[in-house]
Amino acid sequence: MDTAKGIRDELSAAADEKKVENYERFFKTGPGEYGEGDRFLGVTVPSQRRIARKYYKEATLPDLGTLLESGTHEHRLTALFILVMKFEKARNEDEKKAAVDLYLQNLDRVNNWDLVDSSAPKLLGAWLFDRDRSILHELANFDNLWRQRVAVLATFYFIKQGDFTDTLRICERLLGHPHDLIHKAVGWMLREIGNRDRVMEETFLKKHCKKMPRTMLRYAIEKFEPEKRRRYLAGEV
């Protein structure tokens, strides 16, 4: 059985043409936008997750590689859902490494924010937690929006383990980034640090808040008390 074809067929069967235009607008697929040229079937995320659960055992890594090469967004996202499941349910380190290797080989296909956010922490972050993390700093230095977002989002796994060092280094590296998707990602990770260690977050913010993009700062201080938020936004810290 051609499992990749089976997954594609099920996604097509779950498609809703009425959703396509909204998805294309939401994921910025127009000329010059960050998702330019991406194609959508109009399949909801719950339907994609259902199909991923159905096929994750029989889908091989080559099947997932085929799906990741597709120009259709849902093919790639469903492949990533399956790849994360394979990683999390792997029987040994070799199987985990094979999943991560496939991910890195296809990183150019992880090219929208939902693709990054659904895979980078659970896959790359989880793999690197007790390993050399230098690849994340290399990705952060790329002149590529998606690789930079992978770099910072992968550290979400570290944050959940109470380890903030690499997140803060990458956030500092990306402070001057021009794109709001990086501003949001950095602010989000800083907020997650603050949820666990407010002092650590505020130490970073007091050093950098006056030069941070406003969107980044607003995301970072979202959980602060109103008066403290006001003072940060006014630069009174």
Per-residue pLDDT, 237: 87
Q: Domain extents for the chain?
A: 1-111, 119-237
Instruction: State how far the Cα of 24 lies from the Cα of 3, in Å rounded to an integer.
Output: 27
Nearest partner of 148 among 118, 183, 122, 123, judged by Cα: 183
Average pLDDT, the chain: 97
Q: What is the pLDDT of residues 166-224, one digit of tens each?
A: 999 999 999 999 999 999 999 999 999 999 999 999 999 999 999 999 999 999 999 99
Nearest partner of 119 among 82, 144, 92, 160, judged by Cα: 82
Q: Which fold has domain 119-237?
A: Leucine-rich Repeat Variant (1.25.10)
Per-residue b or e along 132-166, where b marks 16 or more CB atoms closer than 10 Å to that residue's CB: ebebbeebbeeeebbbbbbbbbbbbbbbeeeebeb
Q: At what angle do helices 145-154 and 134-141 cross, to 10 degrees?
A: 150
Q: What is the pLDDT of residues 72-89, one digit of tens each?
A: 999 999 999 999 999 999
Say which DSSP state 71 is in.
S
Give yes or no for residue 230 having a pLDDT over 90: yes
Q: Compute, in degrees rounded to 10, the torsion defined by CA atoms 182, 187, 192, 198.
A: 150
Same topology, domains 1-111 and 119-237? Answer is yes
Q: Which fold has domain 1-111?
A: Leucine-rich Repeat Variant (1.25.10)
Give yes or no for residue 128 having a pLDDT over 90: yes
Per-residue pLDDT, 1: 62
